[in-house]
């Protein structure tokens, strides 16, 4: 299957700071998604971004498919941004491959 690596594994930020999370993948993919897992366990879809750049409020994401990586930017972080951020890539058919996540803690 496709290998997905995320970095950093853990991140602690002061409220208001900016951060960049990275997702590297080992092969060509048909899609790429970023998720935020909240403290209650739910995985919230943030972006569907197989290529290009998207922005949604304080969050934005960029995927450079030819170089097999994606970046998630969080600006002016808030305590509610805390949680685990996962990157998932799609291969052929119904296969999805998940990274090990970046655990973000935003402190007031």
Which residue ranges make up the site for other proteins (CB under 8 A)? 30-31, 33, 35, 40-43, 45, 48, 50, 86, 88, 90, 92-94, 96, 98-101
Q: How far is the CB of 101 from other proteins (least distance, A)?
A: 6
- Asked if residue 13 lies in contact with residue 75, where contact means CB atoms within 8 angstroms, the answer is no
Identity of the residue, 99 or 106, whose beta carbon is nearer to other proteins in the bound complex: 99
DSSP 108: -
Q: How far apart are CA 15 and CA 97, in angstroms?
A: 31
Q: How far is the CB of 62 from other proteins (least distance, A)?
A: 18
51-60: long-range pairs with CB below 8 Å, 24+:
none
Identity of the residue, 33 or 63, whose beta carbon is nearer to other proteins in the bound complex: 33
């Amino acid at each position: 299957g496709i290998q997905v690596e995320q970095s950093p594994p853990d991140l602690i930020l002061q409220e208001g700071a900016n951060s960049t999370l990275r997702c590297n993948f080992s092969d060509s993919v048909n899609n790429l998604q970023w998720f935020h897992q909240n403290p209650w366990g739910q995985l919230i879809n943030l972006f569907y971004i197989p290529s290009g750049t998207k922005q949604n409020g304080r969050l934005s994401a960029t995927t450079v498919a030819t170089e097999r990586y994606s970046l998630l930017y969080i600006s002016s972080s808030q305590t509610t941004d805390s949680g685990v951020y996962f990157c998932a890539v799609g291969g052929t058919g119904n296969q999805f491959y998940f990274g090990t996540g970046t655990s973000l803690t935003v402190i007031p």
